[in-house]
Amino acid sequence: MSTNPTGDPTPSGATSRTDTAALPGPVRTALAVLVFTAFVMMLNETTLGVALPSIMADYSISAATAQWLLTGFMLTMAIVLPTTGWVLERFSTRSVFVFATVIFLVGTVIAALAPSFALLLLARVAQAIGTAVVMPLLMTVAMTLVPSYRRGAVMGLIAVVMAVGPALGPTLAGVVLSFTTWHGIFWLMVPLVAIAAGIGAVRLTDVGERRDTPFDLLSVVLSVFAFGGLVYGLSSIGVIVRGGQEARIVMALLAVGVVGLALFVWRQLVRGRDDRALLDLRPLAVRNFTLLVVVLMSLMGAMLGVLNTLPLYLQGSLLVTALVTGLALMPGGLLEAVLSPIFGRLYDRLGPRPLIGPGMVIVTGSLFWLSTVDQDTGLWLIVTIHVIFSVALAMLFTPLMTTALGSLPKHLYGHGSAILNTLQQLAAAAGTATMLTIYSEVTAAARAGGAPETVTIADGANSAFLASAIVAVVALVASLFVTRPPSESGAGHAEAGAEGSPAAQLDS
């Protein structure tokens, strides 16, 4: 037994298993197919926002109605994600992948041909189901097939999918709309996913052990009320602040979500005693996993709050065009895409602490710096801060996700990834809504005081950025207690009550 640069134990001979050692061909094929499919689906998630004005004109609907194409997608994701732990455990890898891609393809074709808004909304629901299944599938397959000393590099690619896919969606949609109608956005997705589905149906092999866990319909119903109510309520915080009849409706739905969540958790705990839970909550008994869930939720809420407020500040206070806004945010996004796999390989060598600690300090510092902006701040300073922020995110996401799932025994990877993705979805809804509400309320108060429009928008934006920085502090504090997962030859997970360490259970 030797030690790595951080003093953590690593198996003897680990130095001979270098980062350049090639993964087996079937493993590379499986990961390539899943990464490509997930990337296309994540692109699709954010493409439609740019096309909403055209869709509103075609169907003669209001912005509030058209917005359901985005809200409905998010709600469906939140409802389906908790069931993916059971799905991945109950069915074969290939069948789950085929189901996800087929339902996504059917939804995409229907969306491209939809003669009515209702049919288009139904198609978006189908797309969301496919997307919700593929992301946990990708993470579970990567954790199961890739040896622990190579996971950082592979999870770095997954971080690119999660971060860059949604960021490029609006840009891709804008290019397509310059040549054709919004229907073309959907037609573009069809051959890409169809090719991946065909390859996956032939080449994917089963991963892990299947368990004949019974389907629990009541848990699914409770998950609809719990996560649907919470996501809708959290994404409508601004409505609650404004008050009125609509606010009471939102508060009622939020209360339904809270009660539904309590009942859902209770049922999973009861059924989990006999290994019959729809979503096994035992990963939350692992201290390291729970700490990292808190870090990732806080980071996700702060990040999306910033990324949704920045364009409003740039266009409303600095008075730049939408094109300039996109160009200003591009360097950070590209750097994050390039650096995520590199930091993943560094994680394989150094472990989590040398990356997570400095990364969280940089994220928190950059957000406090961003909270000092005003109407006279130079555009290049914003670009610089965003680049620093993006580099720090590249340092963080791969170590955080890899360490979180690596802290679990192998048989809980599927449920762990389901919990991780579900709670990040809730954090995304809450972070976006909270920061935009702070932005709107502070802007309105400044406007009522007679300040110029550029000043009021700057005041609202830096208040939202300050709130994001405070949320990042929560992630920073929690990250101080994160430890490295047990090595391949390490001891079993006493916290989880697992039979041996996850690495020891890894398929050879």
Residue whose C-alpha is closest to residue 490's, from 407, 403, 400: 407
Say yes or no to pLDDT of 490 above 70.
no
259 with 398, same domain: the answer is no
Structural domain contains residue 11: no
303 and 371 in a single domain? The answer is yes
How many percent of the chain have pLDDT more than 90? 22
- Length of the chain in residues, anyone? 508
> Is residue 143 in a domain?
yes
User: Does residue 9 lie within any of the structural domains?
Assistant: no
Count of structural domains within the chain: 3
Distance of alpha carbon 414 from alpha carbon 420, whole angstroms: 10
Is the domain of 259 the same as that of 296? Answer: no
What SS3 state is found at 2? Answer: strand
Q: Take residue 371 and report the two structure tokens written for it.
A: 């909270």
Selection from 1, 2, 3, 11 nearest residue 350 by Cα: 3
Tokens standing for residue 18: 């270098």
Query: Residue 12 domain-assigned?
Result: no
User: Which pLDDT tens digit goes with each residue over 147-180?
Assistant: 877 777 777 777 777 766 776 776 677 778 778 8
Domain boundary among 277, 298, 321: 277
**pLDDT digit string (tens) for 133-152?**
988 888 888 878 888 777 77
Final residue before a domain boundary, out of 277, 294, 329 = 277
State whether 502 and 391 are in the same domain.
Answer: yes
User: What range does the domain containing 457 cover?
Assistant: 280-508
305 and 414 fall within a common domain: yes
Mean pLDDT of all residues in 184-211: 83
The residue with tokens 């094929």 is 29
CATH number for 503: 1.20.1250.20
> What are residue 321's phi and psi, to 5 degrees?
-80, 170
262 with 316, same domain: the answer is no
Compute CA distances 74 → 45, 67, 131, whole Å.
9, 11, 11
Whether residue 103 is found in the same domain as residue 176: yes
CB contact at 8 A, 496 and 408:
yes
340 and 235 share one domain? no
Q: What share of the chain is helix, strand, coil (3-state, %, to 5)?
A: 75, 0, 20
202 occurs within a structural domain: yes
| Residue 161 included in any domain | yes
Distance CA 110, CA 425 (A): 26
Q: Do 258 and 297 fall within a single domain?
A: no
Domain check: are 351 and 424 in the same one?
Answer: yes
Residue 181: inside a domain, yes or no? yes
Q: What is the pLDDT of residues 93-146, one digit of tens each?
A: 888 999 999 999 999 999 999 999 999 999 999 999 999 898 888 888 887 888
Clarify whether residues 498 and 455 are in a common domain: yes
Residue 16 belongs to some domain of the structure: no
Region label for 22, one of left (φ > 0), alpha (ψ between -120 and 50) or beta (otherwise):
beta
Q: Please list the residues that pair with 10 across neighbouring strands.
A: 2
pLDDT digits (tens, 9 = 90+) for 284-304: 989 999 999 999 999 888 887
End-of-domain residue from the set 192, 212, 232:
212
473 has pLDDT over 50: yes
Give pTM, 2 decimals: 0.75
